[in-house]
Amino acid sequence: MKRVLIIYTGGTIGMARTSSGYAPQGDAFHALLNTLPELQDPAMPSWDIVDMNPLLDSSNITVHEWNTIGQMIADQYDQYDGFVILHGTDTMAYTASALSFMLRKNRKPVILTGSQIPLCEIRNDARDNLVTALLIAANDSVHEVCLYFGGKLLRGNRTLKYSADDLVAFISPNYPPLAEAGIQIRYNHKMLLPAVEGSFSLQLLTDVPIGVIKVFPGIQFELFQSIMTEKLKGIVIETFGAGNIPGNADALLPMIRKASENGTIIIVCSQCPHGTVVLGAYETSSALKKAGAISGYDITTEAAVAKLYYLFSRGLSSDEIRSRMSRSIRGEMSTQG
Ligand code: ASP
């Protein structure tokens, strides 16, 4: 029988009403899980649950908790066939992205899930998300970090939270679902990552200073001068469309040039969830490329941030980081087509 470890980090799925609003509950959540007959059904894998301490609303998750979760997986890696990470939805896409990089040579299913309505409520999406995530975590064909939510299994580092209130809260705009849970759970085998060779290891992350700048009409780039210094190791610029910035970027380009000469890595992402950055397709993006910015192609901002943390934490040179940021290392971006 397959064994799955559930790591409960907090989030709505296990929250209960308190006088100051929903807050994560440990013991009450465990007690509730033990009353669910489906979790004891012989068709289910055998499972254990451990809590992160403290349990958090995922808005409070930092690099420190990513390391804690990564370490909890690494400590039990050989004891279990798969892992389910119960997590708040707000930053689940960031954590899924971070774990996909941190868990090097991972060949086991690591499935993040949560819910929009807590399990303790009569109407909830928690039960189905949990039950299906457990079944997927026991499946031999999944060898990667995924996010299961609202009937779809998605590659973790391709996801973003799309809706604050729909039960289908996540999308993977540039990569098809890895599985769809209808009457059957149908795996899209061609899209799943193959099992990697080699031994598993955990890369812990350091709290590298990273910035995200979202371009908007009328942006006064000169105001960013004080933050675009060599103190920032990585900057993700969320541009318009295929990588375009306003023409008044005279102040931005010298900053980018100087920052990238100083070893800061500047990644260009798009504000459009779907589609890819093509630096140089328009005059308004050629300048970015010339100044030393790197195309993030169709990577999400969430994955770009996590990948920067990961590559800097590995202590690579800035040329090595630039080269790895320009290609896919965990299926997080498509550099062609
Ligand atoms: N604020 C909650 C969290 O991210 C929302 C949720 O879980 O859906 O922890």
pLDDT digits (tens, 9 = 90+) for 314-327: 999 999 999 999 99
Instruction: Please give the DSSP secondary-structure letter assigned to residue 247.
Output: S
pLDDT of residue 244: 92
Q: Residue 121: name the closest of 36, 37, 13, 35 by CA.
A: 13
Residues 270 and 196 in one domain: no
Q: How far is the CA of 305 from the centre of ligand 1 (A)?
A: 20
Higher-pLDDT residue of 172 and 17 is: 172
What ligand 1 atom has the least distance to the C-alpha of 15?
Answer: 7
| pLDDT single digits (tens) 263-304 | 899 999 999 999 999 998 888 788 888 889 999 999 999 999
- DSSP letters of 18-31? ETTEEEE-SHHHHH
| Cβ 113 under 6 angstroms from ligand 1 | no
Residues 64 and 186 in one domain: yes
Is 333 within the bounds of a domain?
no
Pairing of the two strands 21-24 and 110-113: unpaired
Q: How far is the CA of 118 from the centre of ligand 1 (A)?
A: 10
What ligand 1 atom has the least distance to the C-alpha of 13?
Answer: 7
Q: Check: CB of residue 55 under 8 Å from CB of residue 26.
A: yes
Separation CA 128–CA 161 (nearest Å)? 19
b (16+ CB within 10 A) / e for 290-305: ebbbbbbbbbbbbbbb
pLDDT of residue 249: 64
b (16+ CB within 10 A) / e for 121-158: eeebbbebbbbbbbbbbbbeebbbbbbbbbbbbbbbbb
Query: C-alpha 85: how far from its chain's center?
Result: 12
Which two structure tokens, joined as six digits, stand for 160?
């973003």
Band (pLDDT 50/70/90 cuts) for residue 41 is very high
pLDDT of residue 225: 81
Residues 96 and 226 in one domain: no
Band (pLDDT 50/70/90 cuts) for residue 337 is low
Residues 151 and 116 in one domain: yes
Is 335 within the bounds of a domain?
no
Q: Find the range with the poorest average confidence among 99-108, 140-149, 209-218.
A: 209-218
Is 314 within the bounds of a domain?
yes
Residues 190 and 88 in one domain: yes
Containing domain of residue 262, as a range? 210-325
Residues 39 and 166 in one domain: yes
pLDDT of residue 335: 86
Band (pLDDT 50/70/90 cuts) for residue 256 is confident
3-state secondary structure string across 123-186: CCCHHHHHHHHHHHHCCCCCCCEEEEECCEEEEHHHCEECCCCCCCCEECCCCCCCEEECCCEE
| Cβ 118 under 6 angstroms from ligand 1 | no
| Cβ 125 under 6 angstroms from ligand 1 | no
* Ligand 1 atom 8 nearest Cα: 89
What ligand 1 atom has the least distance to the C-alpha of 116?
Answer: 8
For range 105-132, the mean pLDDT: 97
Residues 79 and 164 in one domain: yes
* Ligand 1 atom 1 nearest Cα: 57
Residues 32 and 112 in one domain: yes
Q: Check: CB of residue 247 under 8 Å from CB of residue 218.
A: no
Is 330 within the bounds of a domain?
no
Provide the number of structural domains found in the chain.
Answer: 2
Whether residue 104 is predicted with pLDDT greater than 60 in this model: the reply is yes
Whether residue 246 is predicted with pLDDT greater than 90 in this model: the reply is no
Is 48 within the bounds of a domain?
yes
Reduced DSSP (H G I as helix, E B as strand, rest coil) percent helix, strand, coil of the chain, to 5: 30, 25, 45
What ligand 1 atom has the least distance to the C-alpha of 90?
Answer: 4
Residues 66 and 170 in one domain: yes
Please report, for the domain that includes residue 23, its CATH number: 3.40.50.1170
**Domain ends where: 202, 221, 255?**
202
Q: How far is the CA of 62 from the centre of ligand 1 (A)?
A: 14
Residues 179 and 51 in one domain: yes
**To the nearest 10°, the Cα dihedral for 47, 52, 56, 57?**
-30
Q: How far is the CA of 164 from the centre of ligand 1 (A)?
A: 9
Residues 234 and 158 in one domain: no
Whether residue 212 is predicted with pLDDT greater than 60 in this model: the reply is yes
Separation CA 65–CA 58 (nearest Å)? 10
Band (pLDDT 50/70/90 cuts) for residue 219 is confident
| Cβ 335 under 6 angstroms from ligand 1 | no
Ligand 1 pocket test, candidate residues 13, 29, 89, most atoms within 8 A of CB = 89
Is 337 within the bounds of a domain?
no
Residues 18 and 135 in one domain: yes
Ligand 1 pocket test, candidate residues 15, 58, 59, 302, most atoms within 8 A of CB = 58
Is 32 within the bounds of a domain?
yes
Q: How far is the CA of 60 from the centre of ligand 1 (A)?
A: 10
HSE-CB of 79 using CA atoms within 13 angstroms:
10
Residue with tokens 């979760």: 69
